[in-house]
Amino acid sequence: MTANFPGPINAPVNQHQSSPLGKEIPCVELIDRHLWRSFHAYETEMVITKSGRRMFPAFKVKVSGLEKQTKYVMMLEIVAADDCRYKFHNNQWMVAGKADPEMPKRMYIHPDSPATGEQWMQKIISFHKLKLTNNISDKHGFVSSLKL
């Protein structure tokens, strides 16, 4: 299952939906949406280090619509919103040129993976152990992210 959040902060929460064949469609709900909205409204910046830094707020979701006996691997990938580098100037973010070349893709695999759909749907899935780093040669499984 791939969850793409084109607008996770402002998008409505998906309710249980069915496909034309009557099967339930997998659905992902962002936990602590109010906190994410608050941070988004203030354009909060997070300084990333080579040693890695835990993301705040932690990314937590609740899933539904999975097949109960099927095994799933939950992964998180962080991608750049665009190809620009930004700087904070006069109380606002401004484009400051082209971003560095994209680093190799890295996905963070949730430590409970693989698990059955039933197991995933019974709990909130937290990626609180995820660390972001700007060290492209990191060997600890951290997710690489570009510096601003």
Spatial CA neighbour of 1 closest among 69, 73, 61: 73
- What is the set of domains in the chain, with CATH numbers? 17-144 (2.60.40.820)
What average pLDDT score do residues 94-120 get?
Answer: 88
Q: For residue range 32-52, list pLDDT tens digits in order.
A: 999 989 888 877 777 777 888
Q: How confident is the model at residue 148, as a pLDDT? A: 35
Q: How confident is the model at residue 92, as a pLDDT? A: 82
d(C-alpha 55, C-alpha 49), whole Å: 12
| Residue of 107 and 16 predicted with greater confidence | 107
Structure tokens at 88: 């904070």
Residue 70: pLDDT band with limits 50, 70, 90: very high
d(C-alpha 60, C-alpha 39), whole Å: 15
Q: How confident is the model at residue 46, as a pLDDT? A: 75
User: Residue 59 contacts by C-beta under 8 Å, 6 or more apart in sequence?
Assistant: 76, 126, 127, 128, 130
Q: How far is C-alpha 55 from the chain's CA centre? A: 10
| DSSP at 49 | B
Q: Compute the Cα dihedral for 79, 117, 109, 29 and give only its sign.
A: positive
